[in-house]
Amino acid sequence: MRPLEDIRIVSLEQYGAGPFGSMHLAELGAEIIKVEDPSAGGDVGRTVPPYAADGDSLFFESFNRDKSSITLDIRTEEGRAVFHDLVRTADAVYSNLRGDVPAKLGIRYEDLKGVNPQIVCCSLTGFGMTGPRSEEPGYDYVLQALGGWMSLTGEPGGPPQKTGISLVDYSGGYVAAISLLAAVHAARRDGVGTDCDVSLYDTAVSLLTYPATWHLTAGFEPARTRHSAHPSLIPFQAFEAADGWLVVGCAKEKFWRRLVAVIDRPELADDPRFATFADRARHRDVIVPLLEEAFRQRSVADWLKPLYAAGVPCAPINDVAGALSDDHTVSRELVAETDHPAFGRVRTVRSAVRVGPPGDDRAPTRGAPAMGADTDRVLRELGYDDDQITALRDAGALGEERWTSA
């Protein structure tokens, strides 16, 4: 058995952040019943270009492996009754909607505790369910701007930039998954469920970590650094070689001594200007150009071999293709392969969450579900017969307008 095979989650999720969080739980064995609205095409992620076909997309495939999909409008009387039947059998209701929408849809603990006193209601919203921005929609770009991230990203003097991928969304998914699991644990222990008020805004601000501590405590003013340099550990940055770029990092003094030997400048280890991190920071304008000139003399491959041999932390700056084809990616089984009627063999990236002995911790994975593929099965498991299912469809309980995203 996988670790979470005894957990059932009813998920009102869409697009990226919410589905990303629940996909990790699904890979660990949790049953994710994904509620979709057919009148709006289901999860909006199904239509994200450029690779979209037949009501599905490679974007959607990236976030929804190992889940089930049903169609249900919980705002109809009939749909609400079905939803309550699902809640009675579930450990958690999970959503990523705007902060005021959980109350409007009646998916908070206060709304559902009479149905299931142990239910956990985990809401991943843009700004949380309290505070002056709680009713605003939240998207990764917006949160990277508000959270200070863009002011730290890019070259000094250039425009502020976002990270290359939607890290606030994905980090928010991880935070929601952790919160949900903690709340389910407490509910099973205490017999009482709760809300989890998780937000992308909280996630973005919390990830400021030590620059925030430095600023709040000592008045440090964070700023962008040239070539992605660490603000205090020198050298720890990107360097241009003769044919590309690599990262070299001396996070400990021993690495500095090894580095100067590799670049054939052992005398730098005894230079008092560069003896410690603090000394090198004070003489940054001297030591960094010297290192840059040295690295430009040889290719990336020619540098990596002696750096690896010396135990100096380093890496080539891969493109996406290079990262996905790296021997370590293959060895760690980080790529999943599933079949799809429109896209053929779909290859996606697996979860980094792992439980089990090394080398024996990967269970088979299923592709993302077609919209509503599991509706009849799930309803029958709840005790509905064919006539009742037909009546639900006739009443419009299996689809109306969609919800507002976080």
Residue at token pair 């400021």: 208
Listed in sequence order, the DSSP H helices in 109-225 are 109-112, 140-146, 149-152, 167-190, 200-206, 209-218
At residue 348's C-alpha, the angle toward residues 358 and 206, to 5°, is 75
Residue 360 confidence (pLDDT): 83
Asked if domains 8-207+331-394 and 226-317 share a fold, the reply is no
Per residue in 240-294, pLDDT (tens digit) is 999 999 999 999 999 999 999 999 999 999 999 999 999 999 999 999 999 999 9
- Partner residues linked to 248 by β-bridges: 237, 314
pLDDT tens digits, one per residue of 124-137: 999 999 999 999 99
Residue 401 in this model has a pLDDT that exceeds 60 = no
Catalytic residue among 84, 215, 227, 230: 230
Task: Give the mean model confidence (pLDDT) for residues 234-245.
Answer: 97
The most distant pair of C-alpha atoms in the chain lies apart, rounded to whole Å, by 85
Confidence of residue 400 (pLDDT cuts 50, 70, 90): very low
Q: What's the pLDDT at 38?
A: 76
* pLDDT per position as a tens digit, 163-221: 999 999 999 999 999 999 999 999 999 999 999 999 999 999 999 999 999 999 999 99
Tell me the pLDDT tens digit for each residue of 303-356: 999 999 999 999 999 999 999 999 999 999 999 999 999 999 999 999 999 998
pLDDT digits (tens, 9 = 90+) for 39-94: 777 899 999 999 999 889 999 999 999 999 999 999 889 999 999 999 999 999 99
Instruction: Measure the CA–CA gap between 76 and 73, rounded to whole angstroms.
Output: 6
Domain ranges for the chain, please list them: 8-207+331-394, 226-317
Would you call 230 a catalytic residue per the annotation?
Answer: yes
Fold of the CATH domain 8-207+331-394: Rossmann fold (3.40.50)
Q: What is the rounded CA–CA span in Å between residue 280 and residue 340?
A: 54
CATH assignment of 226-317?
Answer: 3.30.1540.10
